[in-house]
């Protein structure tokens, strides 16, 4: 991993332009995601300016993945049918050159999920997004987690994430400090961007992590690079969370305020203050 230069003003302006393109184009994002959070993820995409499609029927998966602008595959609540749909969708997205995100929920704790994630990775996701333990589990068979929670800090997963760049264009490690690995438009080697921000309320609302994966997928449809998509999606989610926290009285009101903030938050100041190279 090479040393990177601080984010230039040109890069920040490119990210803000990516935000505007999302609003203008309203990309269709096919989500095969956690059944507990389907409604919340769909509303988050709508609030950000994208268009969600939330079907996971195996007979529809390939056609919709081919037609969509981007795809999210999240292993939150797998069933035999949904896993079949995920296999078909990832293969179809790859064949149609549509970017897709793999969110390997629980892959560090549950061997079946790790096995399925590795199988899906054969169709080359644009981005792998997970917590540190999940990212490490995909690269290192012995890594363990506790359910969907991480047992590691994001810094611990950097080596594993760099190794996964042979299977994906970008890797997003989510935690107190998000670590985003990929290539900028001017770079020929991978870079790492750190992002600090968000709210302590986020882990207390189910679906915020699932929604972040969906936001990455939406931004992949309009960004110049997967790294741009990861950075602007994480910045958008974190800036909205900080705005929502100021209005919230608890987890329930935070969830509603976060959706409102995804629609209205101003990202310019956040991008200037919060993004740093590793």
Any idea what the Cα angle at residue 58 is, between residues 44 and 148, rounded to 5°? 50
Per-residue pLDDT at 109 = 87
Domains defined for the chain, CATH in brackets: 9-277 (3.40.1190.20)
Whole-angstrom CA distances from 124 to 87, 127, 269 are 12, 9, 34
Per-residue pLDDT at 151 = 59
Residues with Cβ within 8 Å of 68's Cβ and at least 6 positions away in sequence, in order, are 27, 28, 29, 30, 53, 93, 98
Instruction: State the Cα–Cα distance between residues 68 and 219, nearest whole angstrom.
Output: 13
Instruction: Give the chain's end-to-end CA distance (angstroms, integer).
Output: 9
Per-residue pLDDT at 30 = 98
39-97: pLDDT as tens digits: 999 999 999 999 999 999 999 999 999 999 999 999 999 999 999 999 999 999 999 99
Q: Look at the pTM and tell me if it is higher than 0.85.
A: yes
- For the residues of 217-238, what is the DSSP string, one character each? HHHHTT-SSHHHHHHHHHHHHH
Instruction: State the Cα–Cα distance between residues 193 and 262, nearest whole angstrom.
Output: 22
Instruction: State the Cα–Cα distance between residues 246 and 244, nearest whole angstrom.
Output: 5
List residues bridging with 127 in a β-sheet.
Answer: 101, 170
Per-residue pLDDT at 147 = 45
SS3 32: strand
pLDDT lower than 50: segments of the chain: 1-5, 142-143, 145-150
Instruction: State the Cα–Cα distance between residues 89 and 17, nearest whole angstrom.
Output: 29
Q: Are 192 and 180 in contact (CB under 8 A)?
A: yes
Residues with Cβ within 8 Å of 185's Cβ and at least 6 positions away in sequence, in order, are 14, 224, 225, 228
**What does the DSSP 8-state code read for residue 69?**
S
239-248: pLDDT as tens digits: 999 999 999 9
Closest C-alpha to 214, from 83, 22, 63, 12: 22
């Amino acid at each position: 991993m090479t040393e990177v230069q601080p984010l230039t003003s040109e890069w920040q302006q490119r990210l803000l332009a990516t935000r505007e393109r999302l609003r203008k184009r309203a990309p269709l994002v096919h989500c095969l995601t956690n059944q507990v959070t389907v409604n919340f993820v769909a509303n988050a995409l709508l609030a950000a300016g994208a268009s969600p499609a939330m079907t996971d029927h195996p007979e529809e998966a390939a056609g919709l993945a081919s037609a969509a602008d981007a795809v999210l595959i999240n292993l939150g609540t797998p069933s035999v049918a949904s896993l079949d749909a995920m296999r078909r969708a990832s293969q179809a997205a790859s064949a149609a050159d549509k970017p897709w995100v793999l969110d390997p929920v629980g892959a560090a704790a549950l061997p079946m999920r790790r096995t399925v994630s590795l199988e899906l990775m054969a169709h080359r996701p644009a981005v792998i997004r997970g917590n540190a333990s999940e990212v490490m589990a995909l690269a290192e068979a012995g890594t363990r987690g506790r359910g969907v929670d991480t047992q590691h800090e994001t810094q611990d997963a950097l080596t594993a994430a760099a190794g996964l760049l042979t299977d994906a264009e970008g890797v997003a490690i989510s935690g107190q400090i998000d670590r985003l690995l990929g290539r900028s438009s001017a770079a020929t080697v991978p870079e790492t961007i750190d992002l600090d921000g968000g709210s302590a309320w986020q882990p207390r609302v189910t679906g915020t992590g699932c929604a972040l994966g969906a936001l990455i997928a939406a931004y992949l449809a309009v960004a110049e690079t997967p790294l741009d998509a990861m950075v602007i999606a994480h910045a958008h989610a974190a800036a909205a969370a900080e705005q929502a926290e100021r209005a919230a009285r608890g987890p329930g009101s935070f969830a509603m305020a976060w959706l409102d903030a995804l629609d209205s938050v101003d990202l310019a100041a956040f991008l200037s203050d919060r993004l740093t190279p590793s």
